[in-house]
Amino acid sequence: MAKTKTSFVCENCGAGYSKWVGKCSVCGEWNTVKEETPMVEDKETPWLDPNESMLSAKPQCLSDISYEEEPRIDMIDPELNRVLGGGLVRGTFVLLAGEPGIGKSTLVLQTILNAPHLKALYVSGEESARQLKLRADRLSNNQQHCQVLTETCVEHILVESKKINPSLLVIDSIQTVYSSNSESSPGSVGQIREVASILLRYSKTTGIPIMLIGHITKEGSIAGPKVLEHIVDVVLQFEGDKQHMYRLLRAAKNRFGSTAEIGIYEMMGKGLRPVENPSEQLINKRSLGLSGISVACTMEGARSLLIESQALVSSAIYTNPQRSATGFDLRRLNMLLAVLEKRSGFRLVEKDVFLNIAGGIKTNDPAADLAVITSVLSSSLDIAINPGVCLCGEVGLAGEIRAVSRIRQRVSEAERLGFETILCPQGNVDTEDLSFATAIKVIGVSKVEDAFRYLFTQS
C-alpha cells in the first residue's frame, strides 16, 4: 500500500514546505509550520445546482454588463448597519473575529432575533442547542424565525441550508467546521482554506449572505491562513476590554462600504446595547474640575468622539521611573514626555507617569496628543483644567501643533456637547472656515507653550 504523502504548511501565512522547519522563511514566525495531509478526491456537492455553477460563467465585455444597485438587508442594529455600509448586501461573505468572550456570538444572535424579517439558520459547532436556547431567552422572546443546527461538517450544513433556503446563514465558528474533502483536523490551515472556498462558492451561487465567526491568536490577529481574509468580502473585528462596558466594532475590510466607520456597543445584562451618542457616555461630568483630566476631540473612523484623558504624575519610588498607558500607545507617550522636557522645560525624568483613556476606549488618533500632554502637565502642576475646554491637535517633535483632519466635524461635536472653548491647531483655523460655530469659542495654537499659557494662566 502506497504511503500517504504529507506536506507542511505555515498556519500564519500559508507557505508550503516539503519537510518540517522551525521557522517560516516567508513570514518569519516560529513554530507555525504544521503537517497537512492531502485532499481526497472531490465528492459530489448535492447542495449545488448544476445550472448555478460558477464554472459555467463565460467572459463578458465590461461595457455590456448592466449594474443596478442592490438593496441592502436592514439588520435593525444601527451600529452594525453603519459599519457594513448601510446594511447587508445579498451574497456577502462576512467574517467577524474577536477575543474569546468579547460578545461575538451574542452580537450575531441578538441581531438575528431583533430582525424578524430575516429567516436565519444559525449553525453552531461550539455550543449545543440547549446552550443557544438559554442565551436566546436572555436576549429576546421573538425566536420563531431563527433555526438552529449543531453540525460541524460543511457538506451536511449546506445540504440543510439548501432545504431551508434561509436569508442569512451564520457559522459559529469557522475553526470548528471541517470538510470531508480534506483529511486534516478541524481548525488547521488546509481545513479552513477548503471550508472557506466551499462557503464562498455557495454564497456567490445562491445569493445567501454568510456570516462567519472566527477566533484570533494571542497576538490579536485572525486565526487561520491569511487567505481567509482575502476570500471574504467583509472583515469585522470586535474589540474591547472584557472588564469594561464598551465594545468597538471595526471594519478591517469592506468591499461594499467604507472601512472608516465604527460601531460602539455597551455590554448589558440582556445583551449588547448600541450606543448612538458615545461622547456623552465616555465623559464623566463629576470628574471634570480635577487635576490631570482633559477632554480630547478625536475621530474614530468617520465619527467624532470626545474622550477623557486621565493622567497621574507622582514621584518615582524606584530608580527607573514607571511609564504606563492604557488605551494609548506607550511609545508615543514616551515621545510626548520627551517633547515636554526638551521643548517646554518640564522635568519629568524622576517622576512616574500613568495615563488612562477612560471607558476602555483605545485611540490611535494623533489629535489626542495635545490632550495627553495637557493632562500630564495638569497632574504634575496639580492645576485643574477648565471643564468647559476641550482640545485637539497633533504634537510634533519640535513642539509644534500640527493640523488635523475633519476639524469642522470635531468642532461641531464639541459645540453640540456644550463645551465653551476648543483649542485646535492654528493651521486648521487659518485654512478652514469655522464661523459656523457660534456657541463655542475656537482658539488656534501653534506651539505647546501657547496652549499651556492659555490653560494654566487663565483666572
Least Cα distance to 152 among 178, 131, 128 occurs for 178
> What is the Cα–Cα distance from 441 to 452, expressed in whole angstroms?
17
User: In this structure, how many other beta carbons lie within 10 angstroms of the beta carbon of residue 453?
Assistant: 12
Least Cα distance to 212 among 128, 131, 93, 92 occurs for 93
Cross-strand pairs, 216? 222
169, amino acid identity: L
User: In this structure, how many other beta carbons lie within 10 angstroms of the beta carbon of residue 89?
Assistant: 21
CA distances in angstroms from 363 to 279, 325, 399, 422, listed in the order given? 13, 11, 21, 19
Strand segments, DSSP code E, in 217-371 are: 234-239, 246-254, 262-268, 271-274, 293-300, 303-315, 323-326, 351-357
First to last CA, the chain: 91
Residue 105, marked binder? yes
Residues in the chain: 459
User: In this structure, how many other beta carbons lie within 10 angstroms of the beta carbon of residue 34?
Assistant: 16
Q: Are 103 and 267 in contact (CB under 8 A)?
A: yes
> What is the Cα–Cα distance from 248 to 416, expressed in whole angstroms?
23
Name the H helices within 323-406.
330-344, 369-381
Q: What angle do CA 108, 112, 116 make, to 5 degrees?
A: 170
Residue 100, marked binder? yes
Residue 103, marked binder? yes
3-state SS of 42-70 is: CCCCCCCCHHHCHHHCCCCCHHHCCCCCC
Q: What angle do CA 202, 203, 204 make, to 5 degrees?
A: 95
Residue 373: partners with Cβ closer than 8 Å, 6 or more residues away: 336, 337, 339, 340, 395, 448
DSSP annotation of 85: T
> Quick check: helix, strand or coil at residue 343?
helix
Residue 104, marked binder? yes
Q: Are 248 and 361 in contact (CB under 8 A)?
A: yes
> What is the Cα–Cα distance from 156 to 426, expressed in whole angstroms?
63
Q: Are 82 and 74 in contact (CB under 8 A)?
A: no
> Quick check: helix, strand or coil at residue 25?
coil
Annotated binding site: 98-105
Annotated binding site for ATP: 98-105
